[in-house]
Amino acid sequence: MADSKFSFFCLGLGIGAAVGLLFAPKPGEVTREELRLRAEEGREFLKKRSGELRQQAEEVLDRGRSTVHSQREQLSAALEAGRRAYREATAGSADSAPDSPPPA
């Protein structure tokens, strides 16, 4: 019985070693090369993505500047129209007022 347990142990040890060799990690040189390639891919991705983000940010800023400029022009036009209306209203009321002296 001890003989069969030992033979099963040896058989398991052999199968484990074979499976270990089949699924063993790659040699250090291959692993380092893969890491280097992936790091380079990562750098390229980040470079590309940062360029895209910079372009999007510039577009958003340009739209914001355009909107602010447009709003400023509209506000300026509205203020000028208000001033003109005020001048016309005050000039019109001064022209239509009688020449009588103001009450004391």
Q: Which amino acid is at 18?
A: A
Residue 98 lies in a domain: no
Is there a domain that residue 7 lies in?
no
Structure tokens at 86: 């005020």
In a domain, 11, yes or no: no
What is the band of 99 on the pLDDT scale with cuts at 50, 70, 90?
Answer: low
Write down the pTM of the prediction: 0.48
Q: Shortest CA distance to 6 belongs to which of 30, 14, 91?
A: 14
Total of domains in the chain: 1
Q: Residue 48: which domain range?
A: 24-91
Q: What is the pLDDT of residue 7?
A: 82
**pLDDT one-digit tens code per residue, 53-82:** 999 999 999 999 999 999 999 999 999 999
Model confidence band, residue 100 (pLDDT cutoffs 50, 70, 90)? low
| Rounded CA separation 21/14 (Å) | 11
Query: Is residue 30 domain-resident?
Result: yes
On whether residue 28 sits in a domain, the answer given is yes
Q: Among residues of the chain, what percentage have pLDDT more than 90?
A: 46
- Residue pair 26/34 in contact by the 8 Å Cβ criterion: yes
